[in-house]
Structure 1
């Protein structure tokens, strides 16, 4: 399904959809623990880190046990690490219900309570709970690696884009409900969420923000690639340039879209992600009244690992 490791991976929604659906359900099991963490604006407390082998929760500090849960896409398992020990739950062919039962047993051996909620959320036409999802699923190592490669490439660009922002910006990570990789910049400006939306969406829209991310697509919108939007959405987004040839405004979806294949055709996809995010933020400044002063310069840092301290001091004093 993909070429050499250094080639731009080819991602086809229809090929990846079964594994995306499987992994989305698996990471929701561990993700439920994040709902007990202190709420961070825009649900920044729930994101999963993209690691060298998969997706990992933050560290949870509960009374009597400290732990983290790592869905290792490249290993086909879920690793629970705690101060009381570690347990590995494999992800072979089976159902989500079977995995959930094994996960609960492994967590209990480490003194970790099961997640307080077993509801499956944000997945259309799904079983209501993990216990009720008895669909037999197969683990596809090739698709799992492709998913990790895409998330890893996108995360690198988004982290570079986020670095100079001086306002509130949760760490770049996967929102385990909708299963998209997200980078958000927030502004201290209270907003009114539209009525009738689920509570998690209302809580996300309590203040203005700019979101740039990556999605594997879904049944209604199967395009794989980068997306972006501004909340609240300002007028005048039609006809703008979005920093990368081929990035377009989709009025029906309310999103700026940069297809994955188009991104791979650029001379430097990493820098193209940064340019895409910068163009979206420029639109927020020009059309939405966002402050331009929250952006510092894009710099490479001091390279302290190979720069003598006296050189750094001299550079600092001359700046």
Structure 2
């Protein structure tokens, strides 16, 4: 049996790119069901859980079926599980179009409606619909494991960072459109969305937030300047003064042209405590929001484990992070 890696893996985008492109497409198939559910601020309702075997949807409840879809990256298949039964679909040597057809057939057998749309979104180079993506995909188990390890390790750090925040914070998970691992803190300050962009993006900009996440995408928005795989962060609306902030973790820096603070994976994995570095990076981003955008400090509780809280009475210092 495989053991949890002691060292954080090397991630080479060129080697991982074919699998990233494939998985990003197929997770959108089941991800579409989340659009039928009530909208949560910042699209917190849509994220995929990083599971022990891959990526899993929330539990969906539809008339006649309660179900989840589990993209098992470590097994090379997709498990559709319902109260009526289950079906397993292979991801080996198939096209996105063939997978979509097989998925819809299995869903019908289990009493699940077809996804509400066939559109592939947020992938500029992809065909517009699942049925048009007929390139044969070859499953690479090693790349799939590396993708899962990166998501799993990053999620562990981001969940620890999120724990003490007392405001609205959707669960840490993978946004199936952009295929980034997202961790977001919100406050109920109404903001004005930017003038451009699709409705879903503008609806995510209705309130102020701080976002810290992980992404495999190493392409600048202009398609020319390569970026590193790794952690990213930004503050919406973007305040002035971020170029002078201290990002605390070695390798982290502000990139004004992108509007992002970045911590490359290649730097993160070499640090003595990468897990702690993710937490430190997130804390630095929140501190920057406090300093430059007036975010409150009283939304932070203590950062301690559950055993501590089960054995100690609350104190006047519960607003301080440990």
**Quick check: TM above 0.5?**
yes
Structure 1 counterpart of 2:313: 316
In structure 2, what is the Cα distance between the partners aligned to 1:317 and 1:258?
35
Extract unaligned runs of 5+ from structure 1.
Answer: none
Q: Residue 119 of structure 1: CA displacement?
A: 0.3
User: Quick one: which of 270, 277, 302 aligns to 1:297?
Assistant: 302
- CA-CA distance at 1:26 after TM superposition: 0.7
What are the superposed Cα offsets for residues 73-103 of structure 1, whole Å, 9 maximum, x if unpaired?
0000010000010000100112100000011
Residues 147-158 of structure 1 aligned to structure 2 (within 5 Å):
147-158=147-158
Other-structure match for 1:223: 228
Aligned twin of 1:288: 293
Give the CA deviation at 1:318. 7.8
Change (3 A) 1:178 1:317: closer
Q: Between Structure 1 and Structure 2, how many residues are aligned?
A: 309
Q: Report how far residue 145 of structure 1 moved.
A: 0.0
Cα distance change on mapping 1:126 and 1:293 into 2, 3 Å: same
Secondary structure of 1:164's counterpart equals coil
TM-score scaled by structure 2?
Answer: 0.93
User: Secondary structure of the residue that 1:294 maps to in structure 2?
Assistant: coil
For 1:88, the equivalent position in structure 2 comes to: 88
Which of 284, 293, 303 is the equivalent residue of 1:279? Answer: 284
What CA distance in whole angstroms lies between the structure 2 residues aligned with 1:195 and 1:217?
25
Pick closer, same or farther for the CA change 1:145–1:192 going to 2, 3 Å. Answer: same
Contact 1:19 1:143 in 2 (8 A): yes
Deviations 1:147-171 (A, max 9, x none): 0000000000000000000000000
Give the Cα–Cα distance (whole angstroms) in 2 for the partners of residues 140 and 211 of structure 1.
31
Residue 43 (str. 1) matches residue 43 (str. 2): yes
Structure 2: how far apart are the matches of 1:245 and 1:317?
35
Shift in CA distance, 318/237, structure 1 to aligned 2, threshold 3 Å: closer
Could you tell me how far apart the structure 2 residues matched to 1:296 and 1:103 are?
Answer: 44
Q: Secondary structure at the match of 1:283?
A: helix
In structure 1, the partner of 2:252 is 247
Residue matched to 1:263: 268
Partner SS state of residue 238, structure 1:
helix
Per the TM alignment, residue 137 of structure 1 is displaced from its structure 2 partner at its CA by: 1.3
* CA distance in 1 between partners of 2:314 and 2:132 (Å): 63
Cα drift, residue 223 of structure 1: 1.1
Aligned to 1:211: 211
Deviates more, 1:234-243 or 1:185-194: 234-243
Mind listing any 5+ residue stretches in structure 2 that lack a counterpart? Answer: 221-225, 317-322
Residues 222-262 of structure 1 show CA distances to partners (whole Å, capped at 9, x for unaligned) of 41000000000000011322120110101111100000011
Looking at structure 2, the residues matched to 261 and 140 of structure 1 have their Cα atoms a distance apart, in angstroms, of 22
Deviates more, 1:225-234 or 1:239-248: 239-248
Report what 1:33 is aligned to: 33
Q: CA deviation at 1:282?
A: 0.4
SS, match of residue 118 in structure 2 = coil
Distance apart, 1:64 and its partner CA: 1.0
Please state whether the residue corresponding to 1:287 is helix, strand or coil: helix
TM-score, normalisation: structure 1 = 0.94
Aligned with 1:174: secondary structure?
strand
**Which residue of the partner structure matches residue 124 of structure 1?**
124
- Report if the CA contact (8 A) 1:248-1:256 is conserved: yes
